């Protein structure tokens, strides 16, 4: 979507802000529904939720391909694809966690998954740019639908759930509504900054109130002996909490940078979709080099060390992207920084996931998987909303707006680095029990 911004906005007679809203709503809906989606895996089964999510995503892709206006594009891309993703992602992490019982093995598995996720995020601009330039932006969504069909066919080989579904397990609808409204208002309020500051403040206040209400509600429900949407005990694990912060910031940096650079190259530098996509190949290569070696790195270095080095490298990459973009107008000015950023993100994506997932026993994997994915997608939504809003609200100022947007991403990276410094420094061989003890 990032590299199609110009093509979509012209074809649908909308603005960059309109396309940014569609992208952010997709990420936000994923984040809102990831926890309810993970809870539904306990009722419906992991494989059933996975296939249902794929089907909804495919429908959304086809709706987006034929969208006559921004409204239908939001329905297809933001709503259907967002809901579908929220259903299909938790089963992937739950099944992987249950399939491996030690940190090093999980690191290897999560390395492959996180690596493919990071590569998907990085190669999306290239593939989207190629298809958009060669055919049209609509063909990119048709391509997504074809990929979904292929995954459905391949998923027929998936083994039976190691944990049988429980159709009678209660589902906290009120908790899902409260958390959904709260998060939606907070992120949508951020999107209104610079456009309608009064509405932004009102939405932010409403969102904060609903989030507080949600936590008070689930705490009261637990005290009454009822099952809540999200157990408050998940937030009492110090290691997991720090890991969740690093996850959130990592995806803030990845998606925030992706949106900012894409808009900067198209709106300020005048590059087309394919030129923009090709530049992101550097980030793809960087992520590939490190994420697929996650298992090997986990055996040699502590998870904390990998995450700290990753954040330091990511900040260095952002520094390169700011400095070279200001000093050099060439198309390759952003390549070194994107490569360093990709290497750094690929290095730390897996350890953060592994730390969080391994901090809890099997019975909590449904809940922690949903929380973990929700926090990560909130990071993506915040990255696109915050950094993107800074850029879009002042895009006419050219390089200056780009610098301020990237500075916002760097500030987030510093917060992530501080959180990583407080992680326990034990070697990965200590295993699942050591993570719980810490």
How confident is the model over 282-316, as pLDDT tens digits? Answer: 888 888 788 777 667 777 788 889 999 999 999 99
Cα 221 to its chain centre, rounded Å, is: 29
Burial of 132 (0-12, 13-18, 19+ CB in 10 A): buried
In the numeric block, which tokens belong to residue 197? Answer: 């500051």
> Which residue in the block uniquely carries the two structure tokens 């309109």?
18
| Average pLDDT value for residue range 50-74 | 94
**Looking at the predicted structure, is the pLDDT value of residue 133 above 70?**
yes
Strand boundaries in 49-178, DSSP class E = none
> Which residue in the block uniquely carries the two structure tokens 């090709």?
278
**Looking at the predicted structure, is the pLDDT value of residue 76 above 60?**
yes
Q: What is the pLDDT of residue 192?
A: 76
| Domain ranges, ordered by start, for the chain | 2-171+229-437, 172-228
| Average pLDDT value for residue range 21-48 | 83
Provide the residue count of the chain.
438
Helix 399-421 vs helix 238-263: crossing angle, to nearest 10: 170
pTM of the predicted protein model:
0.77
**Looking at the predicted structure, is the pLDDT value of residue 77 above 90?**
yes
Q: From CA 236, how far away is CA 226, in angstroms rounded?
A: 19
Which CATH class for the 2-171+229-437 domain?
Answer: mainly alpha
Q: Which one is predicted more confidently, 99 or 135?
A: 135
Highest mean pLDDT among 105-119, 327-341, 375-389: 327-341
Other C-beta atoms lying within 10 Å of the C-beta of residue 151:
15
Contacts of 47 (CB under 8 A, 6+ apart): 91, 155, 158, 160, 161
Confidence of residue 326 (pLDDT cuts 50, 70, 90): confident
**Among candidates 23, 362, 10, which has minimal Cα distance to 191?**
23
**Among candidates 246, 271, 247, 249, which has minimal Cα distance to 261?**
271
Q: What is the pLDDT of residue 121?
A: 66
Q: Quick one: how many helices (H) and strands (E) in the chain?
A: 19, 0
């Amino acid at each position: 979507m990032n590299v199609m911004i110009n093509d979509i906005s012209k074809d649908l007679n909308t603005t960059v802000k309109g396309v940014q809203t569609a992208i952010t709503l997709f990420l936000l809906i994923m984040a809102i529904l990831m926890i309810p989606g993970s809870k539904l895996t306990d009722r419906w089964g992991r494989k059933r939720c996975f296939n249902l999510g794929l089907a909804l995503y495919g429908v959304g892709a086809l709706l987006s391909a034929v969208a006559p206006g921004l409204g239908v594009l939001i329905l297809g891309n933001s709503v259907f694809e967002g809901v579908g993703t929220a259903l299909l992602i938790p089963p992937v992490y739950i099944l992987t966690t249950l399939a491996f019982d030690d940190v090093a093995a999980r690191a290897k598995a999560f390395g492959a998954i996180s690596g493919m996720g990071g590569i998907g995020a990085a190669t999306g601009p290239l593939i989207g740019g190629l298809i958009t330039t060669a055919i049209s932006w609509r063909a990119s969504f048709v391509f997504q639908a074809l990929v979904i069909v292929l995954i459905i066919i391949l998923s027929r080989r998936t083994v039976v759930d190691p944990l049988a579904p429980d159709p009678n397990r209660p589902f906290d609808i009120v908790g899902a509504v409260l958390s959904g409204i709260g998060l939606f208002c907070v992120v949508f309020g951020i999107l209104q900054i610079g456009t309608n500051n009064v509405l932004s403040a009102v939405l932010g206040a409403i969102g904060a109130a609903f989030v507080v209400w949600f936590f008070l509600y689930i705490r009261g429900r637990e005290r009454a002996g009822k099952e809540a949407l999200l157990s408050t005990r998940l937030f009492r694990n110090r290691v997991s909490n720090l890991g969740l912060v690093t996850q959130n910031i990592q995806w803030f940096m990845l998606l925030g940078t992706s949106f900012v650079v894409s808009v900067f190259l198209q709106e300020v530098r005048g590059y087309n979709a394919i030129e923009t996509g090709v530049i992101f190949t550097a980030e793809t290569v960087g992520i590939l080099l490190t994420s697929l070696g996650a298992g090997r790195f986990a055996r040699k270095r502590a998870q904390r060390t990998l995450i700290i080095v990753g954040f330091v490298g990511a900040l260095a990459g952002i520094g390169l992207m700011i400095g070279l973009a200001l000093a050099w107008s060439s198309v390759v000015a952003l390549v070194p920084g994107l490569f360093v950023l990709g290497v750094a993100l690929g290095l730390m994506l897996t350890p953060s996931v592994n730390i969080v997932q391994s901090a809890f026993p099997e019975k909590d994997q449904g809940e922690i998987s949903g929380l973990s994915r929700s926090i990560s997608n909130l990071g993506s939504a915040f990255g696109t909303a915050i950094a993107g809003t800074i850029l879009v609200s002042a895009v006419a100022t050219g390089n200056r707006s780009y610098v301020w947007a990237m500075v916002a991403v760097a500030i987030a990276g510093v917060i992530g680095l501080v959180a990583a410094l407080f992680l326990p420094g034990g070697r990965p061989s200590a295993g699942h029990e050591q993570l719980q003890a810490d």
